[in-house]
Amino acid sequence: MNRAVILRLETYLIHLQELKAYGRATVTSAELALVADISSSRVRQDLISLQGIGKPRSGYSIIELEMLLYAALDLLNEKPMALVGYGNLGRALAHSGIWEHAGFSLKAIFDNDRAIVGADAQGLTVRHLSELPGVVKSEKIVSACLTVPASAAQSVANLLISAGVKGIWNFAPPEVKAPAGVVLENQKLEQGLMTLSYMLKLRSVSEHI
């Protein structure tokens, strides 16, 4: 699947979970099209590719569609993850509930600040960065979240890769580089805020036309 399809599937899944929380049992392609800002036919094509079968009047079973999306996005297989960098952002992520929702399990937390090492975090003890290679191996960690300062991002990414990590979710300002065999997701928080600033400007202009 290309990235656009993956993003749409994620959008569908989040909306299905919201509907299920309200007690809904079915959803139509038109409803999913509305939240994804695409055509109903595009939604149906996406779901047909997952073997999703809808009924003419009631639409799709939310439970059945949810399971298909979980399988397509591999959210049912637990993937051990490490968090590197236990500063403000690292703490916020460690104490959030996002890991399990995406099929990950936080198994280890690392930092190189001796004042932080040894702290308790969600039942885990913050370890020194020097322990990373051994812990990655012993805990069978396959992915890592990177919340370190910009100056350390690439060197820590290199350490993770050499330890055997196959996927990195990077929150450090620079885009880190990784070999072809490693999946890399660079989160650009500052650019996201710039985009928000621009969109607010557009909204302000349109309201005064």
Report whether pLDDT(190) > 70. yes
Report whether pLDDT(35) > 80. yes
Confidence band of 87 (pLDDT split at 50, 70, 90): very high
Confidence band of 110 (pLDDT split at 50, 70, 90): very high
Return the CATH fold of 3-72: Arc Repressor Mutant, subunit A (1.10.10)
Confidence band of 208 (pLDDT split at 50, 70, 90): low
Say which range, 99-103, 106-110, 133-137, has the weakest mean pLDDT: 99-103
Q: What is the mean pLDDT of the chain?
A: 91
Confidence band of 209 (pLDDT split at 50, 70, 90): low
Superfamily for the 79-191 domain:
NAD(P)-binding Rossmann-like Domain (3.40.50.720)
| Range 102-119 average pLDDT | 95
pLDDT recorded at residue 126: 97
Domain ranges of the chain: 3-72, 79-191
Q: Name which residue leads in pLDDT, 190 or 26.
A: 26
Alpha helices in the chain (DSSP H): 3-21, 29-36, 40-48, 62-72, 88-94, 98-101, 132-138, 153-163, 189-207
> CA 120, CA 48: separation in Å to the nearest integer?
46
- HSE (side-chain half, CA atoms, 13 Å) at 43: 23
| Range 183-201 average pLDDT | 86
